[in-house]
Chain A
Amino acid sequence: MEDKRYTRREFIRTASFTALAGLSVPLLSSCSREEAEDFLQKNFREMTAEEKKQMIAKLEQRYLKKYGKEFQISTQEALPNTLWGYGLDLSRCIGCRRCVYACVKENNNSRNKRQSHWIRVLRLKRGNLTKLDESEHYYNPSLVPEEGFTYMPVQCQQCENPPCVKVCPVHATWKEPDGLVVVDYNWCIGCRYCMAACPYKGRVFNWGEPTIPKDEVNSSVHYLGNRPRMKSAVDKCTFCIQRVREGRYPACVEACPTGTRKFGNLLDPNSEIRYIIDNKRTFRLKEDLNTEPKFYYFFEA
């Protein structure tokens, strides 16, 4: 005959369940209904079509209230047979940073005193292309290009083997079938592991609530791309997912005054990016890390 009594393990289990339930009630009731809904929202990849629709409707309403604009939030999936690739002509970049600010505008980046930039233009002494630690990105001469310098814009390289995705503890970031590395900003917990893992400094953290002037808000957005973000979410370049999945060039490509930036489908033998790979001298940044970037730097000659 065995005594029917609590083991220590059972006691701890019951006690912790009770404590958890007791804690979570005030936790969820102390925040607004909106916040509670956000808290319980699923990861984008686990949502059904119906759930996505509801979530988009909710977001569109919220943005309308906040920015006074009708938003069109796309959840368009990757097109079949596409793998997006980027080309950048180092012999032509003059370091004018037009791309940086076109990107901020297109992608609803924060315009706080410290703007959040997804493109960083490095200035290197001519002939020192491999010495990235000697690069400078705060240069500010009256005119560019300067004698004896090369400029090298760096942004997310959309790696085929992305280290940032590997380290995310909550699967808030992943590689889409068309090769774009995206973030579900709602699912992101802001731990910034991905920023530490990225060898290209391609990710940016929203330290504060992002501010966007109402008249500058871009209302044509993608859920995984340029929708307005919130505090403590990590964001990054997506090659303008909202544009390229509709067949449009990214904003930085259109802004560049020297035509340095090229874009195309790596799986289409007639695309511009394939012409570059076939005919030009190309390299990818930090190839030795085996990240397999889809961002090709090339030279005119």
Chain B
Amino acid sequence: MKRLTKAILVGTILLGIYFMSFAKGAEEEFPVAPPPMPEGSFPCSNCHASLEVNRKKRELKEEHTQIKLRHAENLRWCLDCHNSNNRDKLRLYNGELISFTASYRLCGECHGTVYRDWKAGIHGKRTGYFSGGKRTYYLCVNCHNPHDPKFKPIKPEPPPLRPLE
């Protein structure tokens, strides 16, 4: 009897490990485009490694003055998404650190349905070869500024000529 319980216990643990590895494998890698960083700004640790972490929510007056946060700004501050100790990484809610090329996982934490569509290639944009060649998936941040994500109006290309023009 004792042996049977033991066997069941071991079996359960093995099964658990199996499923966990499965869940980890579900986080696929995508051939994403490089994230749009202002030139010379990455790696962030070039400057931030020697700076002290200031967690206070405040207006930035010396650096990053061009960033105007318009993305649930009342609820959020830099260090909710950017990792404080290693600035070259982003931080998920569960504390996992991810690189900037995997930023879609961070966006997906709030925008779940859009993330689902993005993974299927419906939201967002893909270029190149859809089969048998190199392809590129645009990241969320290639189209939406993460600090101000609303898509801005643009100038249209000229219309066709009217019949009598």
Task: List chain A positions with a Cβ less than 8 A from chain B.
Answer: 87, 89, 94-98, 100-101, 113-115, 117, 120, 137-145, 246-249, 253-254, 256-259, 262-264, 271-272, 275-276, 279-280, 300
Contact = CB atoms under 8 A, between A and B. Distances in A.
A280 to B, nearest CB: 7
A96 B129 contact: no
Interface in B109-138: 117, 120-133, 138
Q: Name the prevailing secondary structure of the B interface residues.
A: loop
B133 A247 contact: yes
Given A259-B143, A300-B123, A100 B157 contact: yes
A247 B151 CA distance: 30
B120 A248 contact: no
Contact of A113 (B138, B161, B162): B161
5 contacts: A96-B157, A114-B161, A139-B156, A143-B156, A300-B123
Contacts of B127: 249, 253-254
Interface of B: 117, 120-133, 138, 143, 151, 153-162, 165
Given A138-B162, A246-B129, A258-B143, A272 B121 contact: yes
Contact of A139 (B125, B155, B159): B159
Given A247-B132, A264-B130, A138 B160 contact: yes
Contacts of B125: 253, 256, 258-259
A89 B156 CA distance: 18
Nearest to A87: B122
A141 B158 CA distance: 10
Nearest to A79: B131
Q: Which of B122, B128, B154 has the most CB of A within 10 A?
A: B122
Contacts of B165: 114
A68 to B, nearest CB: 28
Contacts of B126: 249, 272
Contact of B157 (A98, A138, A145, A262): A98
Nearest to B160: A117
B122 A272 contact: yes
Nearest to B163: A114
